[in-house]
Amino acid sequence: MKKIPLHWSIMLGMVLGVLVGVIFTQFESGPQLISNWVKPFGTIFINALKLIAMPLILASLIKGVSDLKDISKLSLMGGRTIGIYIITTVAAVMIGLIMVNTIKPGTSISEKTRQELVVAYQSDAAEKQAVAQKQKDAGPLQALVDIVPSNIFKATTDNGNMLQVIFFALFFGIGLILIPAEKAKAVKDFFDAFNEVILKLIDLIMLVAPYGVFALLAALVVESPSLDLFRALGMYALTLLIGLFLMGLFYLLLVRVFVKFNPKKFLEGIAPAQLLAFSTSSSAATLPVTMERVEEHLGVDEEVASFVLPVGATINMDGTSLYQAVAAVFIAQAFGMDLSFVTQLGIIMTATLASIGAAAVPGAGMVMLVIVLGQAGIPEAGLALIFAIDRPLDMCRTVVNITGDASVSMMVAKSVGKLHLRPKKEKMG
């Protein structure tokens, strides 16, 4: 019997998860049964992916940087990577602002619905506001200070410190380049082997991916807020989804024009990572699969993928940036505010910078949104307006985040002559 490709297996798990969730919501004890006996398996699956995120970044970045053998190559690749990431992020914010100003979803929110949401989610909104306020009070250069860890072992114990681990890995890799090759060989061999072990662990974890996403989706359905709230915010969700779709088309255009790669093949190659991103809402958790798909199915050289993708998982949050633009203007519209052109230019700048500092974990965009709201003078209590449907939309914007990472990795690989138009191997699924 022919083996089902991985992306179809994951899709089947997602559909079955939604169906089972809907069925169990019809019974009084159904949601409790899903939460107690199904959701834990989804949590275990996410934890397994997060477990290897930090080791993967350490191993792949140190290996990738040290393999360059030349500081000038690192400078060239790094400059192009960050430059393209910034361009795509600004494009994402602009698309979001155009969509939200055209559709004007905030005008469809009734006062009654607004009050219901504020009451229901004010505690969650207050928590996000407190975290964001702490970041705002830290000073303008605190983000730069936070990049350099005081203890690398402590930094690796929290996935939110990914940027610190990336800094250490780059620093360590540069050190390996600068010492004599014969002395660096033993360390390089260790990280080469370490990287291979991590990649094999990824293969093992992905064997249970369909079951993991089944559990995640079933739990999401039974724990969702009431349908009345979803209907009230339907226009906001539609606006954001259209914006994310347009951003996806923008990536396909970049791949077609600059890489000369078939967009259909690109989507087929990255599909399992996209589905996993949708299920987990985490760029960090999806990173191992994104790297495997980009290297083995899209032809990006390991040297490029091991540098561009971990950096992208941390600083390239295009879906999150687009969401922040749409959400900020939507909340302003809901409160009857008319944002000036200058204020919206400020949103572009703030959303771009905020997305760079966003942790690659579920819900991080909500914290960054508070900073965007504060810059634009929009009431931060408006967070409660969108909290009800943030999780399913977070799933969609994470898909855009990792799709952007993959497309940029192909562009960078093409620019430095490290793109193999015939991928190393074509795996089933």
- Which residues, 6+ apart, have CB-to-CB distance to 128 below 8 Å? 366, 367, 369, 370, 383
Amino acid (1-letter code) at residue 376: A
CATH topology of domain 6-415: Proton glutamate symport protein (1.10.3860)
State whether the Cα torsion 386-389-390-396 is positive or negative: negative
**Rounded Cα–Cα distance for residues 265 and 275 (Å):** 16
Q: Residue 241 pLDDT > 60, yes or no?
A: yes
Q: What average pLDDT does the segment 27-41 reach?
A: 91
Would you state the structure tokens that stand for residue 238, as one six-digit string?
């539609």
Identify the band that residue 427 occupies on the pLDDT scale cut at 50, 70 and 90: very low
Residue 259: the pLDDT is 92
Q: Residue 424 pLDDT > 60, yes or no?
A: no
**Dihedral pair phi/psi, residue 226, rounded to 5°:** -65, 155
Q: Residue 31 pLDDT > 50, yes or no?
A: yes
Q: What predicted TM-score, i.e. pTM, was given to this entire model?
A: 0.67
- The pLDDT tens digits of the residues spanning 219-240 come to 877 876 555 445 556 788 899 9
Whether 156 and 165 have beta carbons less than 8 Å apart is answered as yes
- The pLDDT tens digits of the residues spanning 253-308 come to 999 999 999 999 999 999 999 998 888 777 877 888 999 999 989 999 988 888 88
Residue 428: the pLDDT is 38
Domain ranges of the chain: 6-415
**Rounded Cα–Cα distance for residues 80 and 214 (Å):** 38
Residue 228: the pLDDT is 47
Residue 118: the pLDDT is 59
